[in-house]
Amino acid sequence: MTGIRLLFPLLFLGLCLSTARAQVEVTLKMARNNFVSGESIPVAVTVTNRSGQDLVFQGNSRVGWLDLMVSNLNGVALTPIGQPAFGAVKIPLGQAMSRTVDLASLYPLQTAGNFSVYAVVRLPGQADNGYGSNRTVFNVNTALPYWTQKIGLAGKPGQGREFRVLQFNTGSKTTLYAQVMDTRTGNAIRTHPLGEALMFRKPSVTLDNRQVMHVLYLMSPEMWGHVRVAPDGQLLGRELHKRGAGSDPVLLTSRDGIVQVGNSIPYDPKAEAEARGKVRKASDRPTF
């Protein structure tokens, strides 16, 4: 009789988990499917609770509550180099929760290839089973170097960096990337997508007296982008410029090594939008 009493709670718990499994939705989305080796590969995982009860997702020291499984197109699973670490999450009935994870920090995706990814979400006690998401295919590509420059790091003998501006052509457009490499290991420290570039105006690239890389490139027929990247890979800033009087914007280097954009009109889309909002319509004028 005691065994039967213990069996009923276990059967009830199993029924609840089975019901939750059928009514927990996990979806995975990627904003784009083509990436260049070395850049971040963000994926967004959304968990929707339709189980009929509040659910708590919490991992332990051995297994997390969220895993991302990456394989090549031959079906061979990649060995992870990291584990996404999230604290306990409670999802009330009928609500959804989203998390964004960088695949490049979890898997060795520095080489070109075609891959697929899906997410697995687990409730406490589900070490082997969980709720799977849809599978999404993405590509890691090798971009061609447009410009490169190696430098040594001040005060750090034997250590250096290689600045690169890469171009990736999809056939219909060209995208630029700013990349910083560790010359000792040959690994990419950071890779920043700069966006589409119109290559009938060649990008200008130079270094200033602080060993910061400046990139000036044509983004649209009337707009240039100016990007600054530090030796540690940090993106220091992005500015927009319009054409000045009579000719295109250019990078100017002073005698003391300071780099600025010349022959341009700085453009701030936020300020322009605010200015437009302050312009009064004819219908708003007071009557006399």
pLDDT tens column, 210-261: 999 999 999 999 999 999 999 999 999 999 999 988 789 999 999 999 999 9
The residue written with tokens 């276990």 in the block is 10
Phi (first) and psi of residue 25, to 5 degrees: -100, 130
Cβ atoms of 67 and 43 within 8 Å: the answer is no
Instruction: Specify the pairing of strand 55-57 against strand 96-102.
Output: unpaired
Contact 97, 86 (CB under 8 A): no
Q: Is the pLDDT of residue 7 over 50?
A: no
List the single range of 6-10, 50-54, 115-119, 172-176 with lowest mean pLDDT: 6-10
Beta carbons within 10 angstroms of residue 203's beta carbon: 21
Enumerate helices (H) and strands (E) in the chain, giving the number of each: 2, 21
Cα 175 to Cα 196: distance, rounded to the nearest angstrom: 4
For residue 233, the number of C-alpha atoms closer than 13 Å in the C-beta half-sphere is 16
Within a 10 A sphere around the Cβ of 132, how many other Cβ atoms?
Answer: 14
On the question of pLDDT at 36 being above 80, the answer is yes
Between these two residues, 81 and 45, which has the higher pLDDT value? Answer: 45
Token digits of residue 190: 């950071």
Token pair 């090594």: residue: 257
How far is the CA of 273 from the CAs of 31, 96, 269, in angstroms? 26, 34, 6
Q: At residue 93, what is the residue type?
A: L
Q: Domains in the chain, ordered, with CATH?
A: 23-140 (2.60.40.2970), 143-273 (no CATH)
pLDDT 10s digits, 97-109:
999 999 999 999 9
Query: Would strands 96-102 and 34-36 be described as parallel, antiparallel, or unpaired?
Result: unpaired
Strand runs labelled E in 183-212: 188-197, 204-207
SS3 130: coil
**Closest to 151 (Cα-Cα) out of 141, 143, 162, 140:** 162
pLDDT of residue 100: 93
Q: What is the pLDDT of residue 240?
A: 97
Length of the chain: 288
Long-range contacts of 245-252 (CB under 8 A, 24+ apart): 248/201, 248/218, 248/224, 249/216, 249/224, 250/204, 250/216, 251/204, 251/205, 251/206, 251/214, 251/216
Q: What per-residue confidence (pLDDT) applies to 14?
A: 43
Give the rounded distance of the alpha carbon of 245 from its chain centre.
37
60, with CB counted inside 10 A (0-12, 13-18, 19+), is exposed
What pLDDT does 213 receive?
Answer: 98
Distance, CA of 47 to CA of 121 (rounded, Å) = 8
User: pTM for this one?
Assistant: 0.75
Q: How far is CA 152 from the centre of its chain?
A: 28
CA distance 11 to 116: 37
Find where tokens 């005060």 sit. Answer: 155
